[in-house]
Amino acid sequence: MSKYYKIAIALAVSTFAIWTTEFVPVGMLTDIAQDMHVSTGMIGLLVTGYTIAQAIGAPIATSFVGRIARRQLFAGLMMAFAVVNLLSAIAPTYGTLLVTRALTAVVHGVFFATAAVYLTKLAPIDKKGEAASWLFGSLFGVPFGPYLGEAVGWRATTFAVVGLLGLLGWFGVLTQVLKTSAPIVADNQLAGIITVIRYPKISLTLLMATLGFGSSFVLYTYIRPYLHQVTGVSTAGVVGVLVLYGAFVTIGNVMGGRLANRQALGFVTGILVAQIVVQLLQLLLLPRQGWYL
C-alpha cells in the first residue's frame, strides 16, 4: 500500500470520529432531551447549531493555523477534539453542552479544511478529484447511537466516541502523516479568504454546498423522533434507516470522487436534479403532523 493511501486512511479514521460526534445526537435526540429537561427542538440545536458554529468559526480559526506543520496541527486538533468531547459528556447543563459542541464544531471545521487540502496535494494526479471523498464517508458510527444510548446512556456513548475513535485517529495521524516543515503562507490569510469568496463562481459554489448540507442536516437531525412519533418505527428500525443512510452516503462519496476525477459535471448535475425531485415528493407524500412542537 502506498504512503498516500496510508495517510488517507489515517485521516479518514479521524474524520470518522469527528463526523460521528457531530451526528451522534441524532440517534439519541429524545434521550438527551429527557436528561437535560428541554424540548426535542432545543436538542436539535446541538446539530444545527454545530453547523452554524462550524460555518462561522472554522474559517476564522483556519486562517490562524496556516504556519503550523500538518502532522503537529492534525495531532493537536484531534487531542482538542477528545478533550472538548469529554467536557460534552460531563456537561451539567444544556448551555454548557451547547458551548462545548460549538467548540467541537470549530475543531471539526479546521481539521476538515486543512486535511482536505493536504490530502488533495498528496494525491496522484488522477486521484485528486476523489481525495476529499475519503473524509466524507464517515456516517456509519451514527446508527449505533440509539442502541448505545439505551444501553449505557448518551454520556457514556459520547465518552466512548472520544476514548476509542478519537484516540485511534490521533494515533493514526502521529504514525502516518509525514513529518514536514510548516507551510509557507501569506501573512493575512483571513483577508485572502474574504478576497476569494468575492468571485461569483466560488461564492455560488459555496452557497450551493451550504444549502445542500443545511437541508440534509435539518432532515437528518429530526429523523429519529419523526420515525418514532409519526410512523411508529422501533429503535431497531431507526438504526436500520440510519445504516442505509450511512451506506448510501459512502457509496455516493465514492461515486462522486470518481466522477470528479473524470470531470463528469453533467452527470452530477443530473443527480442533483433527481434529488430535488425526490425530496419534493417526500414533502408532498409524507405525514406532516406537528410532532416537532
User: Residue 173 falls within a domain, yes or no?
Assistant: yes
User: Residue 83 falls within a domain, yes or no?
Assistant: yes
User: Residue 293 falls within a domain, yes or no?
Assistant: no
Q: Which cell numbers in the block locate residue 170?
A: 490521533
pTM of the model: 0.77
User: Residue 235 falls within a domain, yes or no?
Assistant: yes
Q: Distance between CA atoms of 176 and 134, rounded to whole angstroms?
A: 15
- Read off the amino acid at residue 166: G
Residues in contact with 45: Cβ distance below 8 Å, sequence separation at least 6, in sequence order:
98
Task: Find the mean pLDDT for residues 204-222.
Answer: 74
User: Residue 216 falls within a domain, yes or no?
Assistant: yes
CATH code for position 141? 1.20.1250.20
Number of separate domains in the chain: 1
Q: Distance between CA atoms of 190 and 64, rounded to whole angstroms?
A: 8
User: Residue 169 falls within a domain, yes or no?
Assistant: yes
Tens digits of residue pLDDT in 154-204: 787 776 666 777 888 888 898 888 877 566 555 556 666 677 777 888 788
User: Residue 292 falls within a domain, yes or no?
Assistant: no
Torsion from C-alpha of 171, 175, 180, 184, nearest 10 degrees? -30
Task: Find the mean pLDDT for residues 248-261.
Answer: 74
The total number of residues shown for the chain amounts to 293
Tens digits of residue pLDDT in 11-25: 888 888 887 777 777
Considering only CA atoms, which of 78, 76, 70, 77 is closest in space to residue 181? 70
User: Residue 27 falls within a domain, yes or no?
Assistant: yes
CA atoms within 13 A on the CB side of 146: 20
Query: Domain range holding 158?
Result: 3-285
Tens digits of residue pLDDT in 222-246: 777 777 777 777 777 777 777 777 7
